Structure 1
Amino acid sequence: MANVDQAKANFILSTLKNMEYGSVIITVHDGAITQIDKTEKTRFASNNSSLKNKK
């Protein structure tokens, strides 16, 4: 296992702390982190209850 640069580790931790829903993909080449991808999702409350009232 390669050593992880502290700046990269801090970036990953910060990304995880600030994310509610999503994923983080860490790409490693030759034992070193070369890329970090973040996909964040936004979820909205369901409006099913308002639809039922209109029927």
Structure 2
Amino acid sequence: MPEKKTGSDQEYAALIHRIKEMLHGMRYGSLTLVIQDGKVIQLEKSEKVRLK
């Protein structure tokens, strides 16, 4: 049975683009997606800087 989509392909493409932007150049840290009613409603980025 196919998975039910709750957003348009355009919305998914925009979300993927935004995630890629947030990850670009990030070396250490995390990216958290907050989901509500089957949709991503928030992205949280926590970046760490390692001192040598």
| TM norm. shorter chain > 0.5 | yes
Q: CA RMSD in A?
A: 1.7
Distance 2:19 2:25 in 1: 10
Give the gaps of 5 or more residues in structure 1.
Answer: 46-55
Confirm whether residue 33 of structure 1 aligns to residue 43 of structure 2: no
Superposed structure 1 runs of 4+ greater than 3 Å apart: 1-4
Give the gaps of 5 or more residues in structure 2.
Answer: none
Shift of 1:7: 1.3
Identity over aligned residues, as a percent? 31
For normalisation by structure 2, the TM-score amounts to 0.72
Counting matched residue pairs gives 45
Computing the radius of gyration from Cα coordinates, the structure with the larger value is: 1
Instruction: Specify the alignment match of 1:12 in structure 2.
Output: 19
